Amino acid sequence: MKTVIKLSTVAGLLFTVAVGMAKEPNVKLISKGAEKSLVFQMDAKAKETYIKLIDDNDNVIFKDKVSLGNYAKRFNLSALPNGRYYFSTENAIKLYVYTLSVNESELILVDKSEKAKPVFRKKGDRLFLNLLNLDENKVDIKVIDSSDRVVFKETIEDESIIEKAFNFEKAYEDRYMVVVKDNNDVYYEYVLVK
């Protein structure tokens, strides 16, 4: 039985790495005179990818949901006031954030960040968690029942690949929440035991 769990965990990790190595979105900035445009192209590998353009006050200027397939869009940013803007793409596995600066004469890409998200996979009464933690940040994992009682807690440090398998086969009937805190980000997955 342990061999099956190990093989499933390794298969899940390989899936995570393979999807994570998929091409990142293609973002091109065009900044010529009054033309300040952002050209975005991507091949959506995941079932759903969300794209957003947000200003410095967290106001959403544009958002869209992309399903499987190719996506291309040109954003004309010349009408925007001077300031910082954030263009992000997020799917079940990764989050990309591009920090942009718009001023009178140009559009500048200030920064680009990429964040791997945990992958949860359910199989029967088991939940598998895989997280690529290249920065080796401290990761806190908790399982909480519907009465807000912590039934499992673990802190993992200095690990670049985090793999966990949770067996709910003998758990009491309840709705459980698995919480993964990675640096400043928190992710949730729910498990219903009947």
pLDDT digits (tens, 9 = 90+) for 146-163: 999 999 999 999 999 999
In a domain, 44, yes or no: yes
Domain boundary among 87, 116, 145: 116
Pair 111, 157 in one domain:
no
Domain boundary among 83, 116, 149: 116
The three state secondary structure string of the chain is CHHHHHHHHHHHHHHHHHHHCCCCCEEEEEEECCEEEEEEEEEECCCCEEEEEEECCCCEEEEEEECCEEEEEEEECCCCCCEEEEEEEECCCEEEEEEEEECCCCEEEEEEEEEECCEEEEECCEEEEEEECCCCCCEEEEEECCCCCEEEEEEECCCCEEEEEEECCCCCCEEEEEEEEECCEEEEEEEEEC
In a domain, 47, yes or no: yes
In a domain, 154, yes or no: yes
pLDDT digits (tens, 9 = 90+) for 9-50: 444 444 444 444 445 566 565 655 567 888 888 776 656 888
The per-residue pLDDT for 147 is 95
Domain, as residue range, for 153: 119-193
Pair 65, 24 in one domain:
yes
Pair 125, 186 in one domain:
yes
Domain boundary among 82, 116, 150: 116
Pair 94, 33 in one domain:
yes
Pair 77, 150 in one domain:
no
Pair 23, 81 in one domain:
yes
**In 3D, which of 83, 124, 133 has the Cα closest to residue 107?**
83
Pair 128, 106 in one domain:
no
128 or 109, which is more confident?
128
Residue 28 CA from chain centroid, whole number: 22
CB-based contact 146:130 (threshold 8 Å): no
Pair 39, 101 in one domain:
yes
Pair 177, 95 in one domain:
no
